[in-house]
Structure 1
Amino acid sequence: MMSLGSPKIYDLPIIQAIFEGNVIQLTELITQREEVNAVDHDKRTPMHAAAYVGDTESINALIQAGGKVNVKDSNWLTPLHYAAARGHDAAVRELIKNQAELMAREKNWMTPLHLAAHNNHIASAEAIIAHLVNVDIADRTGKTSLHHACYNGHAEMVSLLLVKGASVRALDKKDRSPLHLASYMGHQDCINSIVGCGGDINSKDKKQYTPLHAAAAGGQVHAVKMLLELDADVDVTNSHGCTPLHVACNNGQDVVVDVLLQHKATINQLNIHGQTPLHYAAWSHHGALCMELLVKAGADPNVKDINGRTALHMTSVHGFYLRTETLINHGARVDVEDKEGNTSLHIAARHGHASVVKKLISYGANKNKRGAGGMLPVHMACLSGYSDCIDNLITSDSEIATELDTDKRTCLHAAACGGNIECVDMMINEGCQINARDKLGRTPIHYAAACAQYQCVLSLVANGANLTLVDNFKRTPLHYAAASDTDGNCVAHMLRSFPGGTPFTTDSKGFTLLHYAACNGHRLAVNMAIDYAPGDISAITTGETKTTPIHLAAYNGHFEVLQELVYKFQVFLDHKDDKGRTPLDLAAFRGHKEIVDYLLGNGASLIVHDLVTKRTPLHAAASNGHVECVQMMLRYLSKGSQIDVVDNQGRTPLMLAVTNGHVPVVQVLVEQGAQLDYTDKYLCTALHRAVACGFEDCVETLLNAQADSSARDQFGRTPVHFAAACGHVTILDCLLNSGGSPIAVDNSGYTPIHWAAYNGHEKCLESLVEKSGTDMITGNNFTPLHCAIINDNDSCADLLLERMKRETIDTQDSKGRTAVHAAAFNNHVECMQLLLKYGAQVSVSDSNGRTPVMVAANAGHSSVLDLLMGLPSEKLSVDSVDQQNNSALHLACLKGHEECALAVLEKCSNDLIKKANNSSKTALHIAAKSGLTRVVKELIQRGTDLYARDSDDYTPALCCAPNPAVANCLELILQAMLEQKVPLSSDSGQ
């Protein structure tokens, strides 16, 4: 619910008089011609202020002076909304007496009655309802006034609405009834009233939640009891298969659980995941008491969900010791495996719950069962680094040294990866092989090095770990240490311990330990690796990549590392990687200004293109908004072609900066003379891009530098078109004030007004219409009004209709269709109501000869058709026919739209029902063929010709046949029966 702040309109005297209740002063100000319809920045008027304070005398004075009663502020709130929301019933009555719009909607589609109901203003609601036909109008979320009253527990308001005919079965957009909301909030009086008026106690929302689910979720125990006493289904399920008992357990609502169990809720009910309420109680942090209640009531603790997990698995995840004990004492089996093979012991060991591990073992849990990846519980404890769990899992007869998981990893692999030195030493003492290889060829020290576990590395090396062994990717432990070791301790110790030969080997991609150290910015490791590196950098760049350690250092912003490498190798700085990128390009892309400055100072080239998009380093920096890098590069470039260099899409650095909204970069490039009106391969300028992306500051910068606001892309669209299409109203105003045309026509004949109307951008449309004056209907005959109507943009349509000349409302497009045709075709009822309000013609025929009535009938849009049929017959031309001589009745029958056909029959003449189309078929032929029983009956009663023959020489009766052959057979049989005087029914009386 929005808040209604005081509608202060700056410090206008007229507003001060209203808020002070000084009617005499207000009258004097009006006499002095003070503007009574003045608006503030939120479009609020003095009438809004008077309604807000509820002063009927002020309201009357303003009305007599020409004050508008139905004016809307920026949130579409009318004075009646304000008065109803504040509960000023006298003001409400006064406004209604002066033709205030009762059905006016604010931006959330709430009417004054919604606001009165929401805030429990009975008298205001009564005043409004007295003038309403329907009290069930829905807001944008689908809620009626009764929904709002029920949610807030306004029992008296609920009673009033029910007496006035409010529907207890009205559903919001999530299919929730008023009873759902009252139940969730625990408002018993509202529940009682709703059920007493026929509310469905077991109604379901879109997720299949009933009111009982809602009450259980909210812990509303009294509401739960009331619903159960009213015969709510205690075991009803939602879309996840959860009963109210599941929901209560999940939310830890133990009092509700107790009530549901007393009412015989099915205790072992499975949801779609195979979980019982006990699973939820075991898992939930608030479910301890719920679990106690469930197991005492006989819940089965060994039920598996679809992943094979029992409630005991759930308690093991969180280490709920007491709940674990409770489950075991009530029959839970400790060695049940889930789908991955994990028992509760695996789960507890993986999460380090030593007390639960010990408890499970004491109840006989099998420590030698294999779980996920073939791991024992001890593998999982080692991997997670829980030595206290390992103590409970190792026994004197364990064969830990030889136990391998599916990937051939020992417990020592797991411990080395986990990094707990106690676990590593325990596994070494248990006899695990130091150099055992897993499926990927990695030894425990590979894992310790990869995780930079220095103490583990020390222990493993001291116990004979082989540092020269390579894995399946040809990486030694040193490769992994170089990548992960920040302080260099692991690398230093490994290099000192390296058993002869060079540690400077390459992996399968040609990367050395220097690549890995440089990539991760490990300067100490780099310095140590350099001592072992060959003098030529090309000698360490082999295999599948041309990437050097310098590329990696530049990309990742490791300045000191890059300096060390450049100094050591004296490299060619424009060396390209496999994508054609130089170190400068990579550093510029990432915005590493120190590196950019250093490389430029050492002669790195700026005019070099990569192999992917043909970008230069300047493109790379501009694209990502690195203004300091851009400034550095511009100092090394000459103005002109170099600053406007293009990539393979024809984009300049300025275009890329604009596209990504980097204002400082745009300003720098513009100041340095970048061309504003260069176009890319799509003929878009930088201004087109800035507008499309909605970057106001970029647009302002470009316009201040005299960018062309009338430039056209390959489709003839100007930046004004782009702003209108995207709904960027502030940018649009800038463009219009800079000379952009609101009626420029693109290659398809569409103006910006068309685009704003089509996309429903009301504020943009308002600006464009104001600027265009009388020329707003220009270009393609598929007018802006057509555009607004076809997309159901009723607010835009309303704005256009207010400003359009009467004769242009019925403009026909290239196919002869008016806006009324568009509304009929798309079943847009509110738009059709608007068109009729402004006097649009409903009998105009399109190029196929079809009127809007025929279009609606053909499409089966009964809502629009009913609206049209409510008009006087002389306006409708119901008997009109199209180029095939089909009437609206023919078309509805052809498409099988029975309700539409019956609606047309109520208005059409007897001549029309006998009229044949170009295939000589009457409406009866077609209705019979389509099986429209009620239409056939009505046509017969209206006296249509039963013997009329179509172009195939069939009567309506023969058209009932599914195909021509059957029709011919039927005709022969009927003819023979008539000749033999055989009755058509076994009942001789018929």
Structure 2
Amino acid sequence: MQRWGGRHLFPLQPARFPISQQSHKESPKSTSAAVTRKPVGQCSLCRTQGMDITSACLLAGARVNAKDNMWLTPLHRAVASRSEEAVQVLIKHSADVNARDKNWQTPLHVAAANKAVKCAEVIIPMLSSVNVSDRGGRTALHHAALNGHIEMVNLLLAKGANINAFDKKDRRALHWAAYMGHLEVVALLINHGAEVTCKDKKGYTPLHAAASNGQINVVKHLLNLGVEIDEMNIYGNTALHIACYNGQDSVVNELIDYGANVNQPNNNGFTPLHFAAASTHGALCLELLVNNGADVNIQSKDGKSPLHMTAVHGRFTRSQTLIQNGGEIDCVDKDGNTPLHVAARYGHELLINTLITSGADTAKCGIHNMFPLHLAALNAHSDCCRKLLSSGFEIDTPDSFGRTCLHAAAAGGNVECIKLLQSSGADFNKKDKCGRTPLHYAAANCHFHCIETLVTTGANINETDDWGRTPLHYAAASDMDRKKNILGNSHENAEELERASEMKEKEAALCLEFLLQNDANPSIQDKEGYNTVHYAAAYGHRQCLELVSAHTVQRSLSADIYIYIYTYMCVGEVLYASIVNSPKSYNLSFLDIYNAVKTCNKLRKVQ
């Protein structure tokens, strides 16, 4: 399935003309600044249609082909004003009829967009071709069709315009006319030989275009011509898919009446019903599909049913419609997740309530044997946790890795979730298969308030996991992915990543300080013999290193071990500095090296 962002799957947008009086709906922001800014020089004279003044200026030596900051000439302006007289005066004084603005649009493009038929009649005889394209590959015919100017379309066709010319996205004039709902233009183009089955680069036909924008009259006209109703684009989507996604219920009804396949899967196995279930405005479309025999339990290639799609997007009313029409409430996708798991993951409380009321199993295991409560807690949805807890089940049941819902809440960082679980009897010292408690998870993710809550309620602050690591070890190494993330991302984001890194380190230091103040022992060594100082050093935490160094009382490791850590940290600091500051040349400044050595010296003082 294509990504769910955006209003239309058919990505046609109204053309942005430098000078326009378009009749279609278009955001004021989409027009060029040339429309609103004050005209200058002889351009302003053309707009006011003062022919005597214009002629006088030209005779006095005004430049007939002068361009403004959008490269618009007086002829562009005159055409936009539909002033035939001004156009004739300018051409008489050798105005360039082939002049292009910054969008490569000629005066003919502007005439086509603004229904300046008389101006076009003056200009066209002076052109070598009416099929010149602008920066987007659009000809004057594209612009005339988009704006529904049937007289202009007739003129251009009579003057030899290529009816099947396509722009840079392979869209024909027929695509644009169909999308904007200009039925007369559509009929005219087809009568003159336009390919009614033409496709753009993504496989969209004029029927897709009309369906996506709810142009019911154009859809009817195309269907009456016998176009293939279930024609697919490159994603496998038919016009019915597109109409459902965009909530065009009248088009959906028309397509169904003409025999469109309501169960047609696209390349990913999604049917129109999946699209209607997910769409913002697809409620009526979903009802139409269900009432006309759509399979409510059909699954996509990844196992998602239409009910899963309502769960992803929180469409609780549509979920009720599906359930009432036989939708399987506990159906599982390829990961084993039910719609309840999905709703819990995305935090849709109302949909969770609908599913539970309809009999969904709150104790059913999904991916990695997680409960829906695991996913709600992991994604910090406290209201969903509250609703799931009210249904009642064994709260300390672990997943495949031994993690309870409290582990998930600690990793997710929502204190309210932790408090809800604790008040329901969750064991805060329960260990996963690696011996880690919820406090380990909170420390590893720098969730200060979660750490505070767990410690305050009695969590063992010096509990070790199977590798001998305490929560303090994890807090010291909690920024372990900092350099990896920066090295793996574009250098253009280096400054932003560095700021995020600094913030993360401050959070880690705050967690460390709290743990140390509550008797966490920084001298405890893991099974490799490393204590918290080593972890802070190895992961380049200067602030954390200062904190734990001040609290470390046992310094029994050999000098060789410390030298190894010094080297490890120095190399990390130097490499990090070189990548961030000089991504192309890898040249180090004196300050880079100085900071790395300074950090290593802080560790040396501990010995």
TM surpasses 0.5 = yes
User: CA separation of 1:277/1:124 partners in 2, compared to 1, >3 Å: closer, same or farther?
Assistant: same
1:577 is paired with a residue whose SS is: helix
Q: How big is each residue's C-alpha offset from its partner over 1:503-539, in whole Å with a ceiling of 9 and x where there is no partner?
A: 454696956269649976878x966872444589998
In the alignment, the residues of structure 1 paired with residue 57 and residue 573 of structure 2 have an alpha-carbon distance, to the nearest angstrom, of: 74
The answer (yes or no) to whether the contact 1:377–1:393 under 8 Å persists in 2 is no
Q: Show the counterpart of 1:545.
A: 565
1:256 is paired with a residue whose SS is: helix
Q: How big is each residue's C-alpha offset from its partner over 1:250-289, in whole Å with a ceiling of 9 and x where there is no partner?
A: 2222232222222222111111121111111111222222
1:146 is paired with a residue whose SS is: helix
Q: Does 1:185 find its partner at 2:180?
A: yes
Q: How big is each residue's C-alpha offset from its partner over 1:900-959, in whole Å with a ceiling of 9 and x where there is no partner?
A: xxxxxxxxxxxxxxxxxxxxxxxxxxxxxxxxxxxxxxxxxxxxxxxxxxxxxxxxxxxx
Q: Show the counterpart of 2:28.
A: none
In the alignment, the residues of structure 2 paired with residue 50 and residue 422 of structure 1 have an alpha-carbon distance, to the nearest angstrom, of: 69
Q: How big is each residue's C-alpha offset from its partner over 1:801-860, in whole Å with a ceiling of 9 and x where there is no partner?
A: xxxxxxxxxxxxxxxxxxxxxxxxxxxxxxxxxxxxxxxxxxxxxxxxxxxxxxxxxxxx
In the alignment, the residues of structure 1 paired with residue 574 and residue 541 of structure 2 have an alpha-carbon distance, to the nearest angstrom, of: 19
Q: Show the counterpart of 1:443.
A: 437
User: CA separation of 1:158/1:376 partners in 2, compared to 1, >3 Å: closer, same or farther?
Assistant: same
Map of 1:682-697 to 2, 5 A cutoff?
none
The answer (yes or no) to whether the contact 1:448–1:457 under 8 Å persists in 2 is no
2:273 is paired with a residue whose SS is: helix
Shift of 1:328: 1.2
Amino acid of the residue matched to residue 103 of structure 2? N
Shift of 1:146: 1.5
Shift of 1:496: 4.2
Map of 1:203-222 to 2, 5 A cutoff?
203-222=198-217
The answer (yes or no) to whether the contact 2:244–2:276 under 8 Å persists in 1 is yes
Shift of 1:367: 4.0
Choose 1 or 2 for highest CA Rg: 1
The answer (yes or no) to whether the contact 2:115–2:149 under 8 Å persists in 1 is yes
Q: Show the counterpart of 1:8.
A: 40
Map of 1:601-640 to 2, 5 A cutoff?
613=587, 615-617=589-591
Shift of 1:493: 6.0
Q: Show the counterpart of 1:777.
A: none
The answer (yes or no) to whether the contact 1:424–1:456 under 8 Å persists in 2 is no
Q: Show the counterpart of 1:375.
A: 370
Q: Show the counterpart of 2:268.
A: 273
Shift of 1:471: 5.0
Please point out which of 319, 322, 326 is paired with 1:331. 326
Amino acid of the residue matched to residue 8 of structure 1? V
Map of 1:448-467 to 2, 5 A cutoff?
448-450=442-444, 451-452=446-447, 454=449, 459=454, 465=460, 467=462
The answer (yes or no) to whether the contact 2:65–2:95 under 8 Å persists in 1 is yes
The answer (yes or no) to whether the contact 2:451–2:511 under 8 Å persists in 1 is no
The answer (yes or no) to whether the contact 1:509–1:543 under 8 Å persists in 2 is no
Shift of 1:357: 3.4
Q: Unpaired segments of 5 or more residues in structure 2?
A: 1-16, 19-33, 479-505, 596-607
Q: Show the counterpart of 2:140.
A: 145
1:578 is paired with a residue whose SS is: helix
Map of 1:442-521 to 2, 5 A cutoff?
442-450=436-444, 451-452=446-447, 454=449, 459=454, 465=460, 467-472=462-467, 474-481=468-475, 492=514, 496=518, 503-505=523-525, 510=530, 512=532, 516=536
The answer (yes or no) to whether the contact 2:163–2:189 under 8 Å persists in 1 is yes
The answer (yes or no) to whether the contact 1:234–1:265 under 8 Å persists in 2 is yes
Q: Does 1:357 find its partner at 2:331?
A: no
1:545 is paired with a residue whose SS is: helix
Please point out which of 388, 395, 413 is paired with 2:407. 413
In the alignment, the residues of structure 2 paired with residue 488 and residue 70 of structure 1 have an alpha-carbon distance, to the nearest angstrom, of: 67
Q: Unpaired segments of 5 or more residues in structure 1?
A: 10-45, 549-575, 591-611, 622-990
Shift of 1:420: 4.3
Q: Show the counterpart of 1:111.
A: 106
User: CA separation of 1:421/1:544 partners in 2, compared to 1, >3 Å: closer, same or farther?
Assistant: farther
Please point out which of 386, 389, 402 is paired with 2:387. 389
Amino acid of the residue matched to residue 436 of structure 2? R
In the alignment, the residues of structure 2 paired with residue 458 and residue 513 of structure 1 have an alpha-carbon distance, to the nearest angstrom, of: 25
RMSD of the alignment, in Å? 4.0
Please point out which of 83, 102, 123 is paired with 1:128. 123
Q: Show the counterpart of 1:247.
A: 242
Number of residues paired by the alignment?
Answer: 524
Amino acid of the residue matched to residue 530 of structure 1? A
- The range that moved more, 509-518 or 124-133, is 509-518
Q: Show the counterpart of 1:723.
A: none
User: CA separation of 1:394/1:520 partners in 2, compared to 1, >3 Å: closer, same or farther?
Assistant: farther
Aligned residues with identical type, % of pairs: 39
Amino acid of the residue matched to residue 120 of structure 1? K
Q: How big is each residue's C-alpha offset from its partner over 1:83-120, in whole Å with a ceiling of 9 and x where there is no partner?
A: 22222212323444455443333332222211111111
Q: Does 1:317 find its partner at 2:312?
A: yes
Please point out which of 521, 535, 550 is paired with 1:530. 550
User: CA separation of 1:532/1:619 partners in 2, compared to 1, >3 Å: closer, same or farther?
Assistant: closer
Q: Show the counterpart of 1:731.
A: none
2:153 is paired with a residue whose SS is: helix
1:261 is paired with a residue whose SS is: helix
User: CA separation of 1:259/1:543 partners in 2, compared to 1, >3 Å: closer, same or farther?
Assistant: farther
Map of 1:156-175 to 2, 5 A cutoff?
156-175=151-170
User: CA separation of 1:579/1:165 partners in 2, compared to 1, >3 Å: closer, same or farther?
Assistant: closer
The answer (yes or no) to whether the contact 1:378–1:393 under 8 Å persists in 2 is no
The answer (yes or no) to whether the contact 2:422–2:428 under 8 Å persists in 1 is no
Amino acid of the residue matched to residue 578 of structure 1? V
Greater RCO, 1 or 2 (C-alpha within 8 Å, sep 6+): 2
The answer (yes or no) to whether the contact 1:435–1:444 under 8 Å persists in 2 is yes
User: CA separation of 1:343/1:82 partners in 2, compared to 1, >3 Å: closer, same or farther?
Assistant: same
| TM-score normalised by length of structure 2 | 0.74
The answer (yes or no) to whether the contact 2:247–2:285 under 8 Å persists in 1 is yes
User: CA separation of 1:52/1:211 partners in 2, compared to 1, >3 Å: closer, same or farther?
Assistant: same
